[in-house]
Structure 1
Amino acid sequence: MRRIGTFTFLILGLFAQAPAFASGPGTTAASFLKIPVGARETALGGALTAAADNSGAVYYNPAGLGLLARPEFSFSYNKYVEGVSQQWLAAAYPYGPGAFGFGLNYLNAGSFDSYDNSNNRTGSVSAYDLAAYLSYGGRIEPGYAAVRSILYGASVKYISEKLDTEKAAGYGLDLGFIVIPRVKNLKFGLGFDNPASSRIKFIDEGAKLPFKVKTGIAYAVAPDSPVSSVLFLFDLIFPGDGARYAALGIENLLYRTFSLRAGYSSFGDLSNGMNFGLGVNLAAYTGADLGIDYSFGSSYDFGNIQKLGITYKFGNPARGIKPAAAAPAELAATLPEPEPGVSVSSAAAPAKPAAEQPLKESGSSFKTLLGMLGNEDPEIVRDGINFLAALNDPRATDPLIALLYSENIDIKLAALSGLARQGDERAQKAVEGRLRDIEPRMRMLAAEVLGGRGGESAGKALEGALRNESDDKVKSAIIKALQKLNRW
């Protein structure tokens, strides 16, 4: 049986690209956890400590769950040598000022020959490794001059390993933080893997999960551009059971739909370190916020390694909008007068139904207004929002909802004001969702809008937001809104 255990840990050590772990059983616990998960994340070299902003944050940095605005689900699959595969499943659900997350990491080592201590073949055995994560990430706005937001999170993981009839199990804890300074488009990340863990005993030896410190930085260039934006990532990792190493990645998002990725990690010497990947978001084509990701890398021992992943975000998708010139003067003359800097009070109540207020634009005019939303000039975008909101056209709801996910706070505020004038249920739900926005000003505006709109749904959303709100100014805005609804 000793030969089986040694062989298994050797295999897992090779997969983890860490030769130090291949020396024998007990050298480290749960080596499979060192294999990166997710196709997009792998293509970026695993450098996600400061940029984990989706359900994959469960694994890379649970603090990133505090950035989620909508529920989402992701799954990835990768196959190594024949019979050995890894599956990663993750889901996240926003709640209060953060989000809960769940992850499942499963490595199936397949079947292989077993030998006794005299090198006699005794048959074949199978093996698998599994880790289940339960996470929460939230945020606070400390009000510091240099810091806009601090995200925090934790993941509790249960680990189970099986080799033939032998089993091992244990627990671990991961902690993470992300700091968003007032410097635009910059983030800093800090993670601690396994500051607390149980001893995992496998066969006749055991070990604790290795402690690891992760630091990271992420910087985005032109994240609001409808044509091309670039994300730069860099991580420096300090494992407690090996030498420090670096990871970096770059992602180019084109037309808010196509992604080109490359990454590098200096972890171990069995891999050439480079990974590449592609991604496509099908929201603009299917109406569903469905993303497909692919990564490609190679190792000196196992050849090419490929991963395929899918991500689905529930709710209204942030659709890609192609850029276009601002609306010409003759078009603007045919539209209702926009309200630059729409006040909260006037925006709070929805406009008259479209049936009572005939539309003044043709189909081509409406498309031109959509083009304004994709302009690189934020002022033109805000003008487009005001024009669309004044039309009270139900077709404007989805584009306005999409702009709620802009990284430009002024555009987000304008879009929220525009949605306040839309009378449909989708707009109502979108405004209620902004009570969980990372920006206090968005939460304050959402509260005032809901106070003006009224209704049972608005009242329940405000009461729930008040229970979870930590910012005093936002609390005050929510209370005022509840007073308008006679619920305070």
Structure 2
Amino acid sequence: MKSILVFALFCLLSLTLNGQPYYGSNFTDIGIGTRQNGLARSITGAYDQAYHIFYNPGGLGFNRRFQVSADYTKWIAETSHYSFQWTGQKQFVGSRKSTLGVGLVYLGMPEWDSTDGLQSPVSAQSLVFAVSAAQRLDWLPLIGEHVSLGVSLKGVSSTLAQSSAFGSFLDYGLMLRTGRAEVNWGVFKYLEILFGFAAQNAELLPLKFLSERTTIPMLKRFGFSLNCGTHETYSLSISTALHQYEHFGNAFALGGEFWWRNLIGIRAGYESRRHVGGFSFSAGLRLGSRNLPLLLPIRSNRDLTADFCHSGSGDILNDVNRAGLSLFVSGPEPFALTRPADQETITGTQINLSVQETSDPDPWDEIRFYLIMDADKGHFDQAVNMAKSNFAEFVSTYQPTSEDDMNSRSEELRNKLIICRKTDHPQAMNLELSPDKFCSYYWTVLAVDLDNHVQVAHGSDYFRTIHISRPQLTVEDIYLQYDPLIKGRSDDRQGEICVKLANKGQVETPIYKLSVFIARQQNEKEINQLKNQLREGRIGKIWGEEFIEPLSAGDSITIKLDDTWRVPESEWGEHLAYAKVEINDPNIHPDLDHIAQRKNEQFQPLFTVPRWQEDVVRIPRQDLFNVTTIQFTEIQIPVLPVVFFPANASEIS
């Protein structure tokens, strides 16, 4: 009698633990997952997250970036059934959806003795350990984000009394998602269709028990689901699957799931297989930051689902009850800042910002984006941390919509933040800064779903720094390069005007314009009035106007005007020269503070060169100089290298 029962238990346990709901025995079938059994295991082409490790590894490519699930079933002969799954999302080979998963299934019974102590008690247990990897094919054009492939490597260990066996198997799968479409069918706003295929139990290492090979049949799954919903109200999923068993025929499964406000869900399913199928019913309760947050002391952006299922086990076993928990991320998917690059310097007032596209793992959720920018790192961090910890407070502080929100504290904080802008197009955010804004800014973008789950741009640069710089063209000097020869009164040439310019900014200047004005200075007391008149162009003559090629940051240049400065005898004496430099590009705004300090202009006095009297040269007694005379056959020209004369005089006396 004992041997018969033990053999039956062995058939039950060792073949069950391939981690799938169907095994190589018509005697029994135990599936894993409370929600999955509530849908009669019709989930090959349905949203399922972590349990796809054992149903369709291809579905893991669309998984949330983190999920932990566990379930428990206790059924015939005190046999206990546990499962545990973990999945995490990484970025790999150009895809933002690379998923790794680990699954564990245990089925066993305690020590059992049917001999009334004549023989030692025996026990039976089996264990399945699975490692999975899945990849959404993001690098494929057009269809890449809708296709995912995955594999699961399973190790099966079974123990009966003092005997044990081990084998390994491979599963692989594919899932396709159409992407949601807006349909507005009554209470349902969106629609999405999924298709799935999986092949399971490809044998790698045979499972042998007592030298006998135990066959776990190959299984092919084909699945389809139609999903529609609106995040704030209702959602409905209808899924169906066809299971083709090697040597055991086909089975058909149908399931449906309905959720109200993402809080309470009900499920039902039917599986057609005679000995292990039947009807199943399930219910779920989702707790998170939106639903009953005070009862869930866990991190923000984490939700917890508790599920219960009552399912049939065909015409052989009794109906069983199952319970399960799932903890998962519920906020928007990670995304990164794309442009401008960190530490990039921008010269204009137009700033183009962009981030990666992102989505929410809840299929009916919607995302809006907030751009945060500030020149003060402390104020910037304060705003970001407030948004992460209490988004409602963040909105009322930085974007108040009523007078009640306009309290003194929020006014103070809001005034500190340069920019807090809501946008629906984060891939093309254009800012127009005032021309007087030039410094370093810290910026980032928040993705926020309808439940106020906040995702800050991720990575080592969750924020970036941009430097707003303007060209700082400075007029350092303006002077007259005199003609080396002192000429007579009839020659009005004075020399060439030179202007020294420098770029004091951190960026190269565009093409710019230099203008020089010169006017006769009549009265020392009216010098300020004369300067203003020159600036306004009311007096003076535009002596030179030059368009200069770009000047690199930190460089300087001396520009010699093309025309010689000529002054008739009637205007000999002191003049005031005014030089001004301007950027000749309407899209590049200068540094207004630099201009306010009038560093882009310069005033300098210029004096005309004294002339010889043509008839006589009178030299004061105290002045000494050498005279060099060059004689030609017909012409003699005296050259005086050094001349002393009274200040501001127009003649040599």
Same fold flag (TM > 0.5): yes
Q: 2:327 matched to 1:312?
A: yes
Query: How does the TM-score come out when normalised to structure 1?
Result: 0.64
Aligned to 2:458: 432
Instruction: Trace 1:199-278 onto structure 2 (pairs within 5 A).
Output: 199-222=206-229, 224-271=230-277, 273-278=278-283
Could you give the per-residue CA deviations for residues 28-59 of structure 1, whole angstroms, max 9, x where no partner exists?
xxx8xx52101111101111111254111111
What are the within-5 Å matches in structure 2 for residues 163-202 of structure 1? Answer: 163-181=160-178, 184=181, 185-202=192-209
Match of 1:350 among 368, 372, 381: 372
Residue pair 2:223, 2:240 contacting (<8 A) in 1 also: yes
State which of 25, 41, 61 in structure 2 corresponds to 1:21.
25
SS in 1 for 2:373: coil
Gaps of 5+ in 2: 92-96, 182-191, 294-299, 334-350, 356-368, 384-396, 407-416, 430-442, 467-653
Contact 1:420–1:427 under 8 Å retained in 2: no
Aligned to 2:57: 62
Q: Which has the higher helix share?
A: 1
1:360 aligns with 2:360: no
CA deviation digits over 1:351-389, x for unaligned, max 9?
A: 3458898543349999xxxxxxxxxxxxxxxxxxxxxx9
The Cα of 1:227 is off from its aligned counterpart by: 0.5
Q: Which residue is 2:410 aligned to?
A: none
Cα–Cα, structure 1 residues 77 and 416, in superposed 2: closer, same or farther, change >3 Å? farther
Cα deviation for residue 301 of structure 1 reads: 4.1
Tell me, what secondary structure is at the counterpart of 1:40? helix
Aligned equivalent of 1:154, options 135, 146, 151:
151
* Residues 1:134 and 2:134 aligned together: no
Q: Report the Cα distance in structure 2 between the residues aligned to 1:3 and 1:360, rounded to whole angstroms.
A: 75
How far 1:431 sits from its partner (Å)? 2.6
Number of the residue aligned with 2:74: 79
Moved more, 10-19 or 151-160: 10-19
Deviations along 1:318-350, whole A, 9 cap, x unmatched? 9xxxxxxxxxxxxxxxxxxxxxxx985598962
Q: Compare the two structures and name the one with the higher strand fraction.
A: 2
Do the aligned residues in 2 keep the contact of 1:17 with 1:268 (CA within 8 Å)?
no
What amino acid maps onto 2:250 in structure 1? Answer: R
In 1, the alpha carbon distance for the partners of 2:404 and 2:269 equals 42
Distance in 1 of aligned mates of 2:208 and 2:15: 21
Q: Is the 8 A contact 1:49 1:217 kept in 2?
A: yes
Q: Give the aligned partner of residue 342 of structure 2.
A: none
1:237–1:121: structure 2 CA closer, same or farther, 3 Å change rule? farther
Instruction: State whether structure 2 residue 279 is matched by structure 1 residue 279.
Output: no
Query: How is 1:477-488 mapped onto 2 (pairs within 5 angstroms)?
Result: none
User: Is the contact between residue 38 and residue 269 of structure 2 (CA under 8 Å) also seen in structure 1?
Assistant: yes
Matches within 5 A, 1:110-121: 110-113=110-113
Gaps of 5+ in 1: 24-30, 319-341, 367-388, 401-410, 434-446, 456-488
For residues 186-220 of structure 1, the C-alpha deviation after alignment (integer angstroms, 9 at most, x for no partner) is: 11100000223321111241134311111000110
Does 2:291 match 1:291?
A: no
Whether the 8 Å CA contact 2:444–2:463 is kept in 1: the answer is no
Amino acid at match of 2:68: F
Instruction: Report sequence identity in percent.
Output: 21
Cross-structure match for 2:40: 45
Contact 1:114/1:125 (<8 A) preserved: no
Per the alignment, do residues 3 and 421 of structure 1 end up closer, same or farther by CA in structure 2, a change over 3 Å counting? closer
Q: Is the 8 A contact 1:263 1:275 kept in 2?
A: yes
Higher relative contact order (CA 8 A, sep 6+): 1
Tell me how far 1:161 sits from its aligned partner. 0.3
- Rounded Cα–Cα distance in structure 2 between residues aligned with 1:150 and 1:423: 24
**Cα distance in structure 1, aligned partners of 2:22 and 2:271:** 12
The alpha-carbon distance between structure 1 residues 345 and 131, as it changes in their structure 2 partners (threshold 3 A), is closer
Q: What is the aligned residue count? A: 364
Distance 1:155 1:14 in 2: 18
Q: What amino acid is the match of 1:234? A: T
- Counterpart AA for 1:453: R
1:87 to 1:416, Cα distance in 2 relative to 1, 3 A: farther
TM-score (norm 2): 0.49
Q: 1:416 to 1:71 in 2, by over 3 A?
A: farther
Instruction: Please tell me whether the aligned partners of residues 22 and 31 of structure 2 are also in contact (alpha carbons under 8 angstroms).
Output: no
Confirm or deny: 8 A CA contact 1:262 1:276 kept in the other structure: yes
Change beyond 3 A, Cα 1:307–1:213 = same
Say if 1:421 and 1:317 are closer, same or farther in 2 by CA, change over 3 A.
Answer: closer
Task: Report the secondary structure of 2:320's partner residue.
Answer: strand
- Residue identity in the other structure for 2:457: V
Give the distance between the partners of 1:211 and 1:313, measured in 2 at CA.
32
Q: Is the 8 A contact 1:111 1:125 kept in 2?
A: yes
Q: AA paired with 1:106?
A: Y
Q: CA–CA distance in 1 between the matches of 2:76 and 2:462?
A: 59
Is the CA contact (8 Å cut-off) linking 1:216 and 1:233 kept in structure 2? Answer: yes
Contact persistence 2:233–2:262 (CA under 8 A): yes
2:103 is matched with: 103
Q: Summarize deviations over 1:219-251 as a string: whole Å, max 9, x none.
A: 1012x4320010111100101130101111111
Cα deviation for residue 453 of structure 1 reads 3.2
Tell me, yes or no, if the aligned pair for 2:275 and 2:316 is still in contact at 8 Å.
Answer: no
Secondary structure, aligned partner of 1:209: coil
Cα distance in 2 between the residues matched to 1:214 and 1:253? 26
**Aligned-residue offset at 1:21:** 2.1
Aligned partners of 1:197 and 1:209 also within 8 Å: no
Amino acid paired to 1:101: G
Q: Secondary structure of the residue that 1:269 maps to in structure 2?
A: coil
The 1:71–1:148 alpha-carbon spacing in structure 2 relative to 1, beyond 3 Å, is closer
